[in-house]
Amino acid sequence: MSVPAILLEDVGFGWAEGRLALQGCHLRVPQGEFWMLLGANGSGKSTLLKLLAGLITPTQGRVALAGAVGLVLQNPDHQVIMPSVGADVAFGLADLPPVLWAGQVEQALRLVGLWELHQRPVYALSGGQKQRLAIAGALARQVPVLLLDEPTAFLDPAQQLELAQQVQNLVRSTGITALWVTHRLEELSYCDQAVLLAGGRITQQGTGAQLQRYIHQHHLDTQVAWNEAPA
């Protein structure tokens, strides 16, 4: 069996006040695949993503990754900070020799379809373009794993599905591994596999279509908190 890009083995996390946010989580995401993590508010999605991003440490179990990760936040305005498109991507390359910047900036912007806009002011971009710019910043650093924390939260419905399709195409063309956190069932159509998180546990795994059917059959609302998925 090949080495996974993302591996969780019996992972748990508890906050200082004793509340368990995650418990007994097992997850194995193969390299070069696009997976989605689905769950209601309070199910533990954000905690799990923070563990994978290295922002917090599990209180039990093991987390292993194929390498450095790129994190794309819900609101691109919290991540896109430079005045122009090209400058924003280059900003994340400050620890590399300047001779490498131009090539990596162009390559990353071409991958997300923004190279023609590399001189455009960031304020003139749409919400979807800003999210693609945030993704380009991660790609320029050539990370093998991309984590996306509800990246369509501030987009309209058409932009939501467009971004999901673009990430799907990106995974297929580059071999990067992506984990996309969402509560929108329609986005599941674009992933290779999806997992359902409920009450801090991974309760279901399957294709996007399988997860959609499960949620509909059990009348779950992925935007309202619930403790356990029905058996």
The predicted structure's pLDDT at residue 152 = 92
| Mean pLDDT calculated for residue range 3-16 | 92
In this model, does residue 231 exceed pLDDT 90?
no
In this model, does residue 230 exceed pLDDT 50?
no
Residue 179, Cα to own-chain centre: how many angstroms?
A: 4
Radius of gyration of the chain (CA): 18
* Count of Cβ atoms closer than 10 Å to residue 222 Cβ: 18
- How sure is the predictor about 226, in pLDDT bands with cuts at 50, 70 and 90? very low
**What does each C-alpha distance from 204 to 26, 126, 144, 194 come to in angstroms?**
11, 35, 25, 8
Q: Are 21 and 44 in contact (CB under 8 A)?
A: yes
Percent of the chain with pLDDT over 90: 75
In this model, does residue 227 exceed pLDDT 60?
no
Whether the model clears a pTM of 0.75, i.e. scores above it, the answer is: yes
User: CA neighbours within 13 Å on the CB side: how many for 105?
Assistant: 22
Q: Are 204 and 214 in contact (CB under 8 A)?
A: yes
User: CA neighbours within 13 Å on the CB side: how many for 121?
Assistant: 2
Kindly report the CATH class assigned to 6-217: alpha beta
Residue 220, Cα to own-chain centre: how many angstroms?
A: 22
- Rounded distance between C-alpha atoms, residue 50 and residue 38, angstroms: 15
Written as six digits, the tokens of 192 are: 């290779």
| Mean pLDDT calculated for residue range 215-224 | 76
**Beta-sheet strand order (sheet of 20-29):** 20-29, 6-14, 60-65
The predicted structure's pLDDT at residue 223 = 63
- Rounded distance between C-alpha atoms, residue 155 and residue 131, angstroms: 9
Domain residue ranges in the chain: 6-217
**Residue at token pair 């991958």:** 111
